[in-house]
Amino acid sequence: MIMLKWTQKWIQFDWWLLWLVWLWLAFASTAATKEQRSYYLIGVSGGLQDGFPAHTKLDYHSGQFDESKALFLGKGLVRGYKAFLDVMQEGWREYAPEPEQPVVNSNVFASGCHEHANEYWLYFVDSRQAMLILNNEPRFLSITPDTGMIHLHQNGTDANVEQFLLLQAQLQFKSNTNQVAVPLVTAVWFNPLSHVPSPILRTLDDGTQVTNFPDSLALWAQVNDADRTAVFDEQHQCLNQVCESLPSQTALQAQQRYWDGIRNAVRHAELNRPLTTVDYGPPFKCQNFTRFGVDNHTARVTLPKTAIELHFELNKIGLKADFDAGEIYSLNESS
């Protein structure tokens, strides 16, 4: 009888020991994985950007001990791409009737016209998440590896993007220091009943008309984009200091004001859909053409980089990645 009780206790202890070993292995494998992770650089324009509901789909999640956030590098200007806002019709998967909150996504088409340009947000995305980005995402989209190119020395391309892509051209022994190709989210089908041209934000000296998703959307809906990010901005400012309970009522009201404005603009557009063929869609009539696809002198950043490689390359241009926080910042800020 005594031996039976001791045997039962030993079995219970053995299960606890196995559980502790599993927990330790989970932590150990996670720590190793962080160094072994790899990342693709992908350009997005639409609901995957910061501050929109679908942004979390750029992050990789696989249980409590294995999460990997996307890292924002900066904006990049892409010529030959024309942006539209997709106001979806009733009967489509993503259509939201009242009282649900309607959303509008960006569909950016490869027009080939030099006078069309769109600003993309460039993120490093965990390679395990890269193929899942568009799963259950807005319709009519794909990712193309080297159709459009980032124009490095243009207003609309951030310094971090310019320096990182110039480094890639150097590492690949490419002489073209004006453009570099990266994978871009690109629309594949034009729907004349739902696609509304994104409002132009500015016109460059050569006549190029520039758009981007958040600012063009705000201009179309006549809302303030700062209202959309009010809660995020407030929380971000309080990361390294003690703040009162967040989010504040002011930030929540601003956020609600933004989405109410989006609702009003969408419902108005639904009541005023075009009844005839539109003249602003494909095939696009270009004044001048821009080149798509790389030549032997142009770099393309289409292969994944390990966390160690990425850390080293960012350091070379004065940047550092915080893979846990999902942020890239200047080495001067961290010192």
Total count of domains within the chain:
1
How does DSSP assign 23-75, residue by residue? Answer: HHHHHHHHHHHHHH-EEEEEEE-STTSTTSGGGGGGSEE-STT-EE--EEEEE
Does residue 226 lie within any of the structural domains? no
Predicted local confidence at residue 276, as pLDDT: 75
Q: In the numeric block, which tokens belong to residue 20?
A: 């502790």
Q: Does the residue 59 lie in any domain? A: yes
Residue 174: give the domain boundaries: 37-221+273-334
What is the pLDDT, as a whole number, of residue 93?
Answer: 87
Indicate whether 268 belongs to any domain: no
Residue 77 belongs to domain with CATH number:
3.10.490.10
pLDDT tens-digit series, residues 170-198: 999 999 999 999 999 999 999 999 999 99
Query: Per-residue pLDDT tens for 130-145?
Result: 888 888 677 899 999 9
Given a cut of 90, whether residue 245 has pLDDT beyond it is no
In this predicted structure, the answer to whether residue 242 has a pLDDT above a threshold of 50 is yes
Is residue 245 a part of any domain in this protein?
no
Whether 94 is in a domain gets the answer: yes
In a domain, 111, yes or no: yes
Query: What percentage of the chain reaches a pLDDT higher than 70?
Result: 87
Q: Per-residue confidence at 62, pLDDT binned at 50, 70, 90?
A: confident
Across the range 299-323, mean pLDDT stands at: 96
Name the β-bridge partners of 76.
Answer: 120
Is residue 12, in this structure, part of any structural domain at all?
A: no
- The reported pTM is 0.88
Backbone angles phi, psi at 319, to 5 degrees: -120, 160
Q: Would you say residue 13 has pLDDT above 80? A: no
Three-point CA angle 187, 193, 194, nearest 5°: 50
pLDDT in tens, 200-231: 999 999 999 999 999 999 999 999 999 999 99
Determine which of 21-30, 51-60, 154-163, 315-324 has the lowest per-residue pLDDT on average: 21-30
Q: Which residue has the tokens 């927990």?
A: 23
In a domain, residue 258? The reply is no
Q: What is the helix (H) or strand (E) element at residue 219, kind and residue range? A: helix 213-221
